[in-house]
Chains A and B, each alone.
Chain A
Amino acid sequence: MNGSKKQKSTEDDSLGDLTTPGQSKGLLSVFHYRYLLSLIVQKDLRVRYRGSYLGMIWTYIKPLTQFFVYYVVMGIFLGLSKRGENYALYLFSGMIVVNYFTETFRVCTRSIRSNRGLVKKIYLPRELFPVSSQRVAMVHFWPQVAILFLFCVINGWFYGVNWRHIVAIVLGFATVSVFGLALGILFGALNVFYQDAENFVDVINMLSPWLSPIMYKASVVSAHLPDWLMHIYLLYPVTASAELFHYGFWYPTTDQTEALSSHLLLNGGIGFGIACVLLFIAEAVFKRLDGRFAQEL
C-alpha cells in the first residue's frame, strides 16, 4: 500500500516534501505572513471602533484626559510641577511609554483567546495574534508620540538635541516594545489555560503608572531604596524606557542642568538586553504550550 511513496516524485516536484503539519518557525514566521498581519491589524481596529462616530479621535482624547488629570493632581495640587522645568513634557513623555506598555500587555494577553475562532479551526503560527495586537497598540502610540514631539519642538527641543537623545528615543521604543511583546506572548499563552492571567495583567497595569518614574522623578525614589534595589528599579525595562524617553524628549527642552539618573543610556541598554532574553524565554514557553491551544479553548 505504501509502495508508491517514492515514485513519480519528479512529476510532482512542486509539491515539495512531506512535512509535519502545525510546525512553524515561531516569531520568525510572522515575517512571512506580513500581509495577513496587516489585515488582522486592520480588522482589530475596525472591530475596536465599530459603530463609533469619533473613531480614531478617541486615541487622542484618552491620553490627553489622563494627562490633564495627572497634571492637575500631581503637578498643581501636589506641587510637583514647581520642582524642575517643563513638568508637563516630563509627565507626558513618560506617560505615553507606560500607556504603550500597558496596552500592549493587555491586548497581547487577550489575543489568543479573542481569536479562538481562528485558533481552533485553522492552523496559523499563533504568534501572529500577539504580534498583530501589539501593532494595534502601536497605532495608538504613534499619535501620542506626534503630540509629544510637537510640544517638544514648541519648547525649543531642536536647540538642545544631539545624537545621544535620538539614540535614547530609539532604544527606549525598542526596549518597551520587546518587553511588552515578551510579557504579552507569555501571558497570552498562559491565559488559554487559566484566565487568571488576564486579571493578573490588569493588576500589573494598574500599578504600572506608579511603579515607574512618570509623575515623580527617579531621584525621589533613591532616597527611599537601598542602592542595590535602586539599580533593579532602574533596570526594570519599563522604567528604563521611560527614562530614555525623558532624556530624549523632555531633557533637550530644559537648560540641561538637572541631574539625571546615572548611566541612563547604559541602563537602557541593559534593560533592552533583559527584554530580549525575556522574549526568548517567552517564545520558548509559547511554543511548548501552542500545540494545546486549539483543544483547550
Chain B
Amino acid sequence: MAEKAKNSTKAPKSYSAEKLAAIESVEQPDTPVMVNVDHVTKQFRLKKTISLKDEFVRFLLRRPVPDRGMFTALDNVNFTINKGESVGLVGLNGSGKSTLLKCISGVQKVDGGHIETRGHVAGLLEVGAGFSNDLTGRENVYLNGAILGMTKEQIDNAFDDIVKFSEIEKFLDTEVRFYSSGMYMRLAFSVAVHSNPDVFLVDEVLAVGDEPFRRKCAKKIHELKEQGKTLVIVSHSTDQVLQFCDRAILLSHGKMMADGNTEQVLSVMLGREVKK
C-alpha cells in the first residue's frame, strides 16, 4: 500500500513524453481573459483531526508523532481562458480537476500563485448543491437562483423557462424529497443554466437525466457557447469533451501535462486514437 503510494507520486501515470510534446496548442480568441490561473499550487493536510484520546494513547505508548504531511493536489498550474472559449479539464480520478474548479469558483483558497476571474462565475460543481429536500420545487428554484447570484426579479423572469426546460411542471409544488433523481437533477441543472453566468464551471454533471434530456443539455451548452459564454467542463465522457471543447487541459497528480487540441490531448490520455 505504502509502496504503491510512493511509486505513484514518483512516477505519475506516464504519458508518453513525445506524444505530449506533439500536442498542438490552440490559439486563443482575441477576447478578454476570463479566468487567469497563475502558477497555482494547492496543498491539503493528510490527516485531519487529532483527538485527545489519540494523543494520550500515543504518549503512553511512546509512539512518534504521526505524519501530518502535506499532499499537493495542484502543482504550479498555469493557464488563462479567454471569453468564448470552452475548455475541457481532463485527467484520471484524483488528478485535481475538482480541486481546480473549486479554486476557480472561490470555494477553496489557493496556497501558492493566484487566480483571477472576470464577470459572474457560476459553478455547477454538484447538481443541486443548494437544494433543500424540505422545500418544494418552486421554492428550490428561488433558493437556488438566489444562491447562484440571481435577484428576485431575474428569477421571476426566468421562472417559466426554468420550469419548461426541466419538464417538471406537474411536480412544481411537491417537495423535492419526493422527486426521482432524474427530476431533481433536471431542475437543478435548469436553474444553473438560466442563472446566466459569464463563466460556467461544470463538474461531471452533464451526464444527468435520460437520453432526451442529455440532448437538451447539449443543445443548451451549444447555445451558451454561441452566446460567447466561457465554459470549463470536467467530464468522464470523452464524447462530451470532444463535442463541447475546442481545447483541453490534461492534469496528472496535480501537474499540468498538456494544454491544447482536444482530440490530441484525449488521445494521449487514453492511449488510443480519438476522433470527433
Q: Nearest Cβ in chain A — how far from B81, in angstroms?
A: 11
The answer to whether B107 and A22 have CB atoms under 8 Å apart is yes
CA distance A292 to B33 in the complex (A): 27
CA distance A120 to B106 in the complex (A): 10
CA distance A194 to B48 in the complex (A): 10
The answer to whether A21 and B104 have CB atoms under 8 Å apart is yes
**Chain A proximity mask over B115-141: 1 for CB below 8 Å, otherwise 0:** 111110101011001101011000100
Contact of A1 among B28, B83, B125, B147 (CB under 8 A): B28
Q: Which chain A residues lie closer than 8 Å to B148 at the CB level?
A: 122
Residue with the greatest number of chain B CB neighbours at <10 A, chosen from A16, A47, A117, A123: A123
The answer to whether B109 and A122 have CB atoms under 8 Å apart is no
Question: How many of chain B's residues have a CB under 8 angstroms from any CB in A?
Answer: 47
Q: Nearest Cβ in chain A — how far from B260, in angstroms?
A: 11
Is B18 in contact with chain A by the CB < 8 A criterion? no
A19-B116, A50-B134, A122-B125 known; A296+B32 contact, CB < 8 A: no
The answer to whether B129 and A122 have CB atoms under 8 Å apart is yes
CA distance A35 to B154 in the complex (A): 12
The answer to whether A118 and B129 have CB atoms under 8 Å apart is yes
Q: Which chain A residues lie closer than 8 Å to B102 at the CB level?
A: 294
Q: Nearest Cβ in chain B — how far from A33, in angstroms?
A: 8
The answer to whether A21 and B115 have CB atoms under 8 Å apart is yes
CA distance A33 to B139 in the complex (A): 17
Residue of B nearest to A14 (CB): B119
Is A36 in contact with chain B by the CB < 8 A criterion? yes
Is B198 in contact with chain A by the CB < 8 A criterion? yes
Give chain B interface residues in 176-194, CB to chain A under 8 Å.
none
Give chain A interface residues in 11-63, CB to chain B under 8 Å.
12, 15-23, 33, 35-36, 39-40, 42-43, 46-47, 50
Task: List the one stretch of A2-10, A138-146, A155-163 in contact with chain B.
Answer: A2-10
Residue of B nearest to A193 (CB): B49
Contact of A4 among B33, B49, B118, B129 (CB under 8 A): B33
**Chain B proximity mask over A112-138: 1 for CB below 8 Å, otherwise 0:** 000001111111100000000000000
Q: Which chain B residues lie closer than 8 Å to A18 at the CB level?
A: 33, 36, 116-118
Q: Which chain A residues lie closer than 8 Å to B105 at the CB level?
A: 21-22, 122-123
Is B80 in contact with chain A by the CB < 8 A criterion? yes
**Chain A proximity mask over B33-59: 1 for CB below 8 Å, otherwise 0:** 110100000001000110000000000
The answer to whether B147 and A15 have CB atoms under 8 Å apart is no
The answer to whether B152 and A35 have CB atoms under 8 Å apart is yes
The answer to whether B106 and A22 have CB atoms under 8 Å apart is yes
Question: How many of chain A's residues have a CB under 8 angstroms from any CB in B?
Answer: 42
Q: Which chain A residues lie closer than 8 Å to B130 at the CB level?
A: 117-118, 121-122
Is B30 in contact with chain A by the CB < 8 A criterion? yes
Q: Nearest Cβ in chain A — how far from B231, in angstroms?
A: 15
The answer to whether B132 and A23 have CB atoms under 8 Å apart is no
A4-B82, A12-B83, A123-B123 known; A23+B134 contact, CB < 8 A: no
Is B213 in contact with chain A by the CB < 8 A criterion? no
A5-B33, A46-B135, A50-B134 known; A294+B115 contact, CB < 8 A: no
CA distance A177 to B121 in the complex (A): 34
Q: Which chain A residues lie closer than 8 Å to B255 at the CB level?
A: none
Q: Which chain A residues lie closer than 8 Å to B106 at the CB level?
A: 20-23, 123
Give chain A interface residues in 203-247, CB to chain B under 8 Å.
none
The answer to whether A21 and B147 have CB atoms under 8 Å apart is no
Residue of A nearest to B102 (CB): A294
Is B159 in contact with chain A by the CB < 8 A criterion? no
Is B243 in contact with chain A by the CB < 8 A criterion? no
Contact of B32 among A9, A19, A39, A295 (CB under 8 A): A9
A43-B134, A122-B130 known; A20+B32 contact, CB < 8 A: no
A9-B32, A15-B118, A17-B118 known; A294+B48 contact, CB < 8 A: no
A36-B147, A122-B148 known; A16+B119 contact, CB < 8 A: yes
Is A79 in contact with chain B by the CB < 8 A criterion? no
Q: List 14 A-B contacts (CB under 8 A).
A: A5-B33, A5-B80, A8-B31, A9-B32, A15-B119, A21-B103, A39-B139, A39-B142, A43-B135, A43-B143, A47-B132, A50-B134, A117-B130, A294-B107
What are the 6 closest A-B residue pairs judged by CB atoms, nearest first?
A22-B106, A21-B106, A291-B109, A121-B129, A123-B106, A18-B116
- Interface of A with B (CB < 8 Å)? 1-2, 4-5, 7-9, 12, 15-23, 33, 35-36, 39-40, 42-43, 46-47, 50, 117-124, 193-194, 291-292, 294-296
